[in-house]
Chains A and B, each alone.
Chain A
Amino acid sequence: MEALNRIISRKFKDIAGDRYEQIIKRYREFLLLPDELVLPEVNSILFPIDRFSLDIPEELFETLRAYAGASVHLIYVSEKRTLRLIEQTLGEKEAERLKEEKINFAKKTLDTLAPTLEDLGLSVKKSRVIGSKSDDVIELMSTGKFDLLVISRCFGSEPSKTSPVSPVVFKIVQHIESPVIVY
């Protein structure tokens, strides 16, 4: 029986090809189930940033205005591996100096961005972390404390011509179930 079911799925691929994908994509534009029609309630937002993701478009702020009253956890993430690499190549002293510079830059960035978000009616909590950009964000989202993730497509690395979204962002969106705004 299993062999026959395998034949059916092989025949389906031969007969329908990618026609079904095209049709279902078209239907999804206007066929939504009632629970899909309801906009998810957003009370808490995770907003990770780093040095690559500081170019924030005005449209994002306009979108976030819709969630006035929600709390935003604005978190600056620095990659631990980079610091370790510098420690191994340039020494502990140099790594410590760089770490300090990073902390200062993160603090400055958070202090600049937070008031803009507060002006939108959002309550902002700021924090800094040195860890793994992908794993830390995935872990924070998996706690269930956040209803929405707002992330730059450049988070983690510069975008390239072949990949408009950084691999770090790819990994994050693949591992979380909550809604995501990628700007």
Chain B
Amino acid sequence: MDSALIIAVAVFLFTYALIISEKVHRTVAALFGAAVVLFLRVVPWDKVPDYLDLDTLFLLIGMMIIVNTARESGLFEYIAIKTAKLAKGSPMRVLLLFSVVTAVVSSVLDNVTTVLLLTPMLIYITRLMEVDPIPFLLSEVFASNIGGTATLIGDPPNIMIGSAANLSFTEFLINMGPMAFLDLLVMIGIIYLAYRRELHVSRSHRQNLLSVIEGLSEEEAIKDPALFRKSVVVILAVIALFFVHDRLGIEPAVVALSGASFLLLWSKQDPEGILEKVEWTAIFFFMGLFIIVGSLVETGVIADVARWMVGYINNTGEALLVISWFSAMSSAIVDNIPLTATMIPLIKAMGSSLNTYPLWWALSLGACLGGNGTAIGASANVVVIGIAGREGVKITFMDFLKIGLVVMFTTVGVGTLVLWLRYVGV
């Protein structure tokens, strides 16, 4: 067997094992793996630009700059207070509104930022209502992962898939949007059925909540009104441009970078402070992974696995089922970013004998929603559980697993059914 092939597979498996074990930071694991395959020339240096997906990297950087600049204005605290006021002291409304707002915000911004900014408000409201915060927090986590599935920019796997398969923002919204909406309703239904006894509040508590919430001023949350207005304008403009980027012939990454640079120029914010807040560890994690997966492509491993898989899969329908459920199950355990990075070249390689178009949606569905299965399945889960723990609300791995698996199987099942009906037929 080719020694380069053995090295590529060994590095890939070792890096995966390191990421799963959490013994070292995932970025360190990915960079170390990348360094090994580059040092041993499994991936030649001149091929590195081919494997580094600049669309994904620049889209992530651009959106991170926009979010971090907007954050300085108090925009997200404003949204949180506004949502709390709309709920009018009803636990069911709080559940519904926070789930919808989280899903909508997550479909545009990254899930971690969304839950980091909304969770403190949600915990505060549940304390005022004196109800168990767990159903509300779980609903928020699931809504964030479901919302991220809806658009090209909602979740890193979607950015990677969109870039690799050249899928537009509108295509994503048309294919994944309705599915995400349906899954959101199903998820809220599951939470309601599981926790309906805890979603009641006495009249006095409701009055108490109403008087305190009404006393909150969303205007007070706005730290910098000028930056607030500019951030809203730029975010709306960027979203509008995403809708037409394919017709204008502009890459999504260019839209994000243009929005970011324009906001920095217009707002006159200190670029050093904003750029410092870009999650460079995530960016370098992506870079490392792209090179490691590149080594598998370079040595022909991906092509061999694809050929082997195609030998067992007879048609697109079967491939759709295999990809959606395999990626969902894997994403519940492993980080969905390395999984997507590995699956992308595999699906590309299957293109010679299968229609891969529905398979991209199957991958997006599984990779994004599989994360709902376990507490470590997605970054948003970990963040909400972490925040809850710091605020004295204990959500154990088992607590999450019991409801998470039900949500994962149901939402992926609904999504697969929608895809099947659309692309395979009855």
B interface residues, tally (CB under 8 Å): 33
Task: Write the nearest CB–CB distance from A34 to chain B, whole angstroms.
Answer: 6
CA distance A9 to B376 in the complex (A): 10
Asked if B397 and A1 sit within 8 Å, CB to CB, the answer is: yes
Residues of B with C-beta under 8 A to A1: 396-398
Contacting chain B: which of A18-26, A51-59, A109-117, A175-183?
A18-26
CA distance A33 to B124 in the complex (A): 8
Residues of A with C-beta under 8 A to B116: 16, 19-20, 23
Asked if A27 and B121 sit within 8 Å, CB to CB, the answer is: yes
CA distance A102 to B398 in the complex (A): 64
Asked if A8 and B386 sit within 8 Å, CB to CB, the answer is: yes
Q: A1-B397, A7-B22, A15-B112 are in contact. Are A30 and B220 (CB under 8 A)?
A: yes
Closest to B379 in A: A15
Task: Write the nearest CB–CB distance from B81 to chain A, whole angstroms.
Answer: 8
Asked if A15 and B25 sit within 8 Å, CB to CB, the answer is: no
Q: A8-B376, A8-B385, A23-B120 are in contact. Are A30 and B22 (CB under 8 A)?
A: no
Closest to A9 in B: B386
Residues of A with C-beta under 8 A to B117: 23
CA distance A37 to B215 in the complex (A): 11
Task: Write the nearest CB–CB distance from A134 to chain B, whole angstroms.
Answer: 30
CA distance A20 to B391 in the complex (A): 12
Task: Write the nearest CB–CB distance from B215 to chain A, whole angstroms.
Answer: 9
Residues of A with C-beta under 8 A to B389: 9, 12
Asked if B387 and A26 sit within 8 Å, CB to CB, the answer is: no
Interface residues in A1-18 (C-beta closer than 8 Å to B): 1, 4-5, 7-16
Asked if B124 and A27 sit within 8 Å, CB to CB, the answer is: yes
Asked if A16 and B112 sit within 8 Å, CB to CB, the answer is: yes
Q: A1-B396, A14-B25, A26-B77 are in contact. Are A33 and B376 (CB under 8 A)?
A: no
Give the interface SS of chain A, mostly helix, strand, loop or mixed.
Answer: helix
Task: Write the nearest CB–CB distance from B238 to chain A, whole angstroms.
Answer: 22
A34 touches which one: B121, B128, B386 (CB < 8 A)? B128
Residues of A with C-beta under 8 A to B390: 20
Asked if B212 and A34 sit within 8 Å, CB to CB, the answer is: yes
| Interface residues as binary, B197-233 with A (CB distance below 8 Å gives 1, 0 otherwise) | 0000000000010001000110011000000000000
CA distance A168 to B235 in the complex (A): 51
Residues of A with C-beta under 8 A to B386: 8-9, 11-13, 15-16, 20
A31 at the interface (CB under 8 A from B): yes
Interface residues in B353-396 (C-beta closer than 8 Å to A): 375-376, 379, 382-383, 385-387, 389-390, 396
Residues of B with C-beta under 8 A to A8: 375-376, 382, 385-386, 397
Task: Write the nearest CB–CB distance from A25 to chain B, whole angstroms.
Answer: 10
Residues of B with C-beta under 8 A to A27: 77, 120-121, 124
Residues of A with C-beta under 8 A to B216: 30-31
CA distance A5 to B376 in the complex (A): 9
Asked if B124 and A15 sit within 8 Å, CB to CB, the answer is: no
Q: A19-B116, A23-B116, A31-B121 are in contact. Are A4 and B383 (CB under 8 A)?
A: no
Asked if B396 and A5 sit within 8 Å, CB to CB, the answer is: yes
Residues of A with C-beta under 8 A to B128: 33-34
| Interface residues as binary, B389-419 with A (CB distance below 8 Å gives 1, 0 otherwise) | 1100000111000000000000000000000
The contact sample of 23 A-B pairs, CB cut-off 8 A, is: A1-B397, A1-B398, A4-B375, A4-B397, A5-B397, A7-B22, A8-B382, A8-B385, A8-B386, A11-B379, A12-B382, A12-B387, A13-B386, A19-B116, A20-B390, A23-B117, A23-B120, A27-B77, A27-B120, A27-B121, A31-B121, A31-B216, A33-B128
Q: Which 7 A-B pairs have the closest CB atoms?
A: A12-B386, A4-B397, A11-B382, A27-B120, A7-B22, A31-B124, A15-B379
